[in-house]
Amino acid sequence: MDQRRIVKDLIVKPLRSLFLLATLMIACVQISNAQIDVQTEIAKKCSEEADARDLHGQERKNFRALCKENAVQAAPAIVDSQPKKNVAKPPVNVLPDVAEPKAAPPLPAATASKVAPAPIASAAVSGRRIALVIGNASYKNVPSLANPRNDAISIADAFKRTGFTTVDLQLDLGRDGLINALRNFARQAETADWAVVYYAGHGMEVGGINYIIPVDAKIAQDRDISFEALPLDQVLNATERAKQLHLVILDACRDNPFANQMKRTQAVASRSVSRGLAAIEPEAGTLVVFSAKDGETSLDGDGINSPFATALLRNLGTPGLEVRRLFDFVRDDVLDATQRRQKPFSYGSISGRQDFYFVSSK
């Protein structure tokens, strides 16, 4: 009896306690994962409704923020991490009140029934990866740029060599061409795992809003910008339906001749026009990389490619180099090449539960 009691006290009880502790930890992880899945489902549904309402720019951003806020308040608390079978999902109305003639459909509340612990995974050799590569160099109303065409061709070729399913190379696009390219790309992104946009050309910031500039733009006054250029938000929107990675790379922070020749109008005199682009805060799951930090300008360089494109090409094909680390390497290479006159900068965040590689480890 004494031996049995000793075994029970020294072995069985501690093991039972460890088992209960492990069960509790697993339950906590599953609850956390369930909450993340709820947020992902809500963001997807809000994006779909914004598309249905044909919202763009700041109006779209405000709508999605309010939609997600209402959804979080309406969603039920997750109290059980174990999967349940044959449980109906109650509809939850998460859409904000806006003056629209069309009634908004209710959004289903996500539940923990789809949740499973997700290990760190590589998206390098599986999944559908698509890219839109734009190079605007031959501007009609200001001097042409030296490198965007070469940069776009080189980057498109690099994407193909790293295994992208589709790479759409577009050169010297006017406003209509830009809109059509982004619309087609957004449609393809709905079935993609990665959606990547690379843009080289002119860009500018007016009143805190970043724009990319088509080659046919005529910007004589500051109020022309919204009619002649495309807000960066439209580029971000084109990537947001991809399942895993939304990545936008902008080599568009060059000295901008439009800003120097643009007449300021009294009606919008309070709108600032700054050097380079303005800092942004993209939605979670989106990474935006500027070739130069906000408020600064980038260089074309003396070679056939810009310093930023040269650094990106040097690192893009490195096996086992995770995306976030890759752009750290690009930043350091550009700083070295320009004697620290140009510093690339990344904005936003992508999932910390998954690693992303252009090329997997050998």
Position 272 scores a pLDDT of 53
Query: Per-residue pLDDT for 123 more than 60?
Result: no
Q: Give the count of domains, the chain.
A: 2
- Averaged over 106-128, what is the pLDDT? 44
Q: E-assigned strands of 125-218?
A: 129-135, 166-171, 194-200, 203-206, 209-212
Q: What is the pLDDT of residues 311-329, one digit of tens each?
A: 999 999 999 999 999 999 9
The alpha carbon of 217 is separated from its chain's Cα centroid by a whole number of angstroms, namely 26
Domain final residue, candidates 63, 79, 95: 79
Contact call for residues 41 and 75 (beta carbons, < 8 A) = no
159 token code pair: 């994407």
Contact call for residues 198 and 135 (beta carbons, < 8 A) = no
Position 10 scores a pLDDT of 64
Does 241 share its domain with 338? Answer: yes
- Say which residue the tokens 């690192």 belong to: 315
Measured over all CA atoms, what is the biggest interatomic distance in the chain, rounded to whole angstroms?
A: 97
| Residue 236, in any domain of the structure | yes
Q: What is the pLDDT of residues 259-288, one digit of tens each?
A: 777 877 745 444 456 678 999 999 989 999
Does 143 share its domain with 1? Answer: no
Q: What is the pLDDT of residues 134-165, one digit of tens each?
A: 999 999 999 999 999 999 999 999 999 999 99
| Residue 138, in any domain of the structure | yes
Does 210 share its domain with 71? Answer: no
| Residue 84, in any domain of the structure | no
Quote the pTM value: 0.68
| Residue 198 lies in domain | 129-349
Query: Per-residue pLDDT for 252 more than 80?
Result: yes
Does 133 share its domain with 66? Answer: no
**3-class DSSP state of 85:** coil
Does 71 share its domain with 170? Answer: no
| Residue 139, in any domain of the structure | yes
Q: Round to whole Å and give the CA distance between 37 and 45.
A: 12
| Residue 57, in any domain of the structure | yes
Does 169 share its domain with 72? Answer: no
273 token code pair: 């026009």
Position 260 scores a pLDDT of 72
The alpha carbon of 223 is separated from its chain's Cα centroid by a whole number of angstroms, namely 28
Would you give the end-to-end CA distance of the chain in angstroms? 59
Q: Which residues contact 248 (CB under 8 A, 6 or more apart)?
A: 196, 197, 199, 232, 235, 236, 239, 282, 286, 287, 288, 289
Query: Per-residue pLDDT for 199 more than 70?
Result: yes
